[in-house]
Amino acid sequence: MAGARRKLLLMGRSGSGKSSMRSIIFSNYSAFDTRRLGATIDVEHSHLRFLGNMTLNLWDCGGQDAYMDHYFSTQRDNIFRMVEALIFVFDVESKELRKDIETFVLCLRNLYEFSPSSKIFALVHKMDLVILEKRQDVYRALMKSLEDTSAMFSFQVQGFATTIWDESLYKAWSSIVCSLIPNVALFQKHLQTFADISEADEVILFEKTTFLVISHVTNPRSPGFRSDSTRFEKISNIIKQYKQSCSKLRAQFQSLSIRGTDSTSYLDTMTSNTMIMVIMSHKPDIRGSSNLPGGNDINGDGDESLADEAENNIILANIKIARKMFEKIEMMNPDDR
């Protein structure tokens, strides 16, 4: 059974941050580690297995003038053929924004010729160098030009403001990769079922190595404080860094449960390629005693922890049962629905 192979073109001016992004998301570099990366010579090809049935063929194209000249002349059909997605990185500090946009247009022109069904993503990168108040404006201004130019070629560009120093990078790449997963809707559907049965407030499915969010389901009746819309990518960022810290101590991260005042979060392996996070808000105790903030044990020793353990076991059992189903989805032929 052949897996889906997705060719991604990562282009942008030299030094805009393409290889840094690639190494953070796909090679476990920390943002600080990217300092020691060298310039990309010509095109760096990476083959990354994503889930069970998809291979991402990432073409990290060096942005020096000499290479760009090649991409648009002698190497045109080699570069622009069979592209699933173009990820164009704009350095927000670029002194030649006009030239960058022209290069973007050249890419669109070639994609229109060789891969007209390609998806287009624009990352407005290094946003940490722009002062907070100006960020929206800078982003919107650039995106306006890009949307106009993309429309000329009947492409719809999706934009993200990113920086390697916060979770915005994860949001962008999650969106990019998920748009390429052949049966992402199926994941969503089954995750919803799982959430309903578990009576969970929220369930999130992550890819195991990159920790990119594949899918998430939120119970509409869950308490209102879950209003931080960036929480998913924040979790990606935090857990990934936690995993890296664990590996520095020669420990392999397996699972996590965090008990808070109002809810408990469980993070565990779902399939060999995915991890699942289940957030359960605390229910009132069955015997009628109130669930005081701070988790005080009113009824005596042991009841509190018994309830915890019970819930823990239930969640794990649910995950175990659901595992087979999710494994099946992963191994599915991409053309199946």
Partner 1 sequence: MADFGGFPQILSLFYATFHPTEGTKVLYQVPPGSVVKSTDPSAFNTPLFDFESINSYIIPKPQLCNKLLTLRVNNYRIVSHPVHIWGSSYARNSFLFNFCFVFHKDADISAYNPVVRKLSKMFQALEEQNKFLSSAQMSEGLKSIVDQVYEDLNNYCECFIPIDEANSINIKLFPLHHPPPRIKAFHVPISTVQLKAVMDVNWDPTMEKIVEFIDGINSVRKIAELADTDYKLTRKCIQHLMYYGCVIVVDIFQFSNSYACTADISTLANDRHVGEECQSYVASPGANKRNVCDLLELYCSLHNGQTVKEWYIANREHLRGIDIRRFISFGIIKGIIYRVNVFPVLEDINVAATDPLDKRLLRLTKNIKHFDDICTDTQTSRVQSLQSLEKYGEVVLIRA
- In the bound state with partner 1, the residue whose beta carbon lies nearer, of 47 and 337, is 47
What string marks each residue from 35 to 74 as x (binds partner 1 by CB under 8 A) or -? Answer: xxxxx-xx-------------------x-xxxx-xx---x
Is residue 32 near partner 1 by the rule CB under 8 A? no
Least separation, in Å, of the C-beta of 77 and partner 1? 16
Least separation, in Å, of the C-beta of 39 and partner 1? 4
Least separation, in Å, of the C-beta of 14 and partner 1? 5
Q: List strands edge to edge, sheet with 202-207.
A: 213-218, 202-207, 274-281, 263-269, 256-259
Least separation, in Å, of the C-beta of 165 and partner 1? 19
Least separation, in Å, of the C-beta of 106 and partner 1? 17
- In the bound state with partner 1, the residue whose beta carbon lies nearer, of 50 and 59, is 59
Single out the segment in contact with partner 1 by CB under 8 A; choices: 22-30, 34-42, 135-143, 155-163: 34-42
- In the bound state with partner 1, the residue whose beta carbon lies nearer, of 40 and 158, is 40
The β-bridge relationship of strands 54-61 and 4-12 is parallel
- In the bound state with partner 1, the residue whose beta carbon lies nearer, of 164 and 270, is 164
Single out the segment in contact with partner 1 by CB under 8 A; choices: 11-19, 145-153, 198-206, 324-332: 11-19
Is residue 17 near partner 1 by the rule CB under 8 A? no
Is residue 148 near partner 1 by the rule CB under 8 A? no
- In the bound state with partner 1, the residue whose beta carbon lies nearer, of 90 and 139, is 90
- In the bound state with partner 1, the residue whose beta carbon lies nearer, of 59 and 206, is 59
Least separation, in Å, of the C-beta of 84 and partner 1? 25
- In the bound state with partner 1, the residue whose beta carbon lies nearer, of 42 and 308, is 42
How many residues of this chain bind partner 1 (CB under 8 A)? Answer: 18
Residues in contact with 327: Cβ distance below 8 Å, sequence separation at least 6, in sequence order: 52, 271, 272
Q: Under a CB-based contact definition with an 8 Å cutoff, are residues 252 and 230 in contact?
A: no
Chain positions contacting partner 1, by CB under 8 A: 13-15, 35-39, 41-42, 62, 64-67, 69-70, 74
